Amino acid sequence: MTKCFDTDVSTHEAVNAFHYIISEASQSMHFPVFLSLIRSGLVPNIKFEARSGPPRAHVPNPDLVKDYDLIIDAILPGDPVAAQHAMQTHLERYRNLFRGTRR
């Protein structure tokens, strides 16, 4: 995702792939199913926004991209404490975005 972000390429597909890989790694039977049900709303797809003219440019949130990097950096070496902390930080940030607050 960082590569997409740094080169102004849409992170849409990378974000969806990231979430799916995390869901499978969780070894939960329910998380991948849940994710497949909410996938269309997980990352707003600007191509389907109702408006006239060309779709607006996708601008990924740099804080969310940083969150993903921290999660990956914790998972790869097998640090469950850091992974849990990074995931909680990410979920809190995303919840605040939905509620309209920034943190």
- Which residues neighbour 6 within 8 Å (Cβ) at sequence distance 6 or greater? none
The structural domains of the chain, with segments of one domain joined by +, span 7-58, 61-103
More confident residue, 27 or 70: 70
Per residue in 8-64, pLDDT (tens digit) is 767 777 777 888 888 888 788 888 888 777 766 555 555 555 566 665 666 667 888
For residue 86, pLDDT over 90 is answered with yes
* pLDDT number for residue 79: 92
CA-to-CA dists, residue 91 to 38, 56, 63, angstroms: 15, 26, 12
Per residue in 8-21, pLDDT (tens digit) is 767 777 777 888 88
Quote the distance between the C-alpha of residue 84 and its chain's center.
15
* pLDDT number for residue 40: 62
Q: Looking at the chain, how many residues does it have?
A: 103
Given CA atoms 82, 87, 92, 96 in this order, what sign does their dihedral have? positive
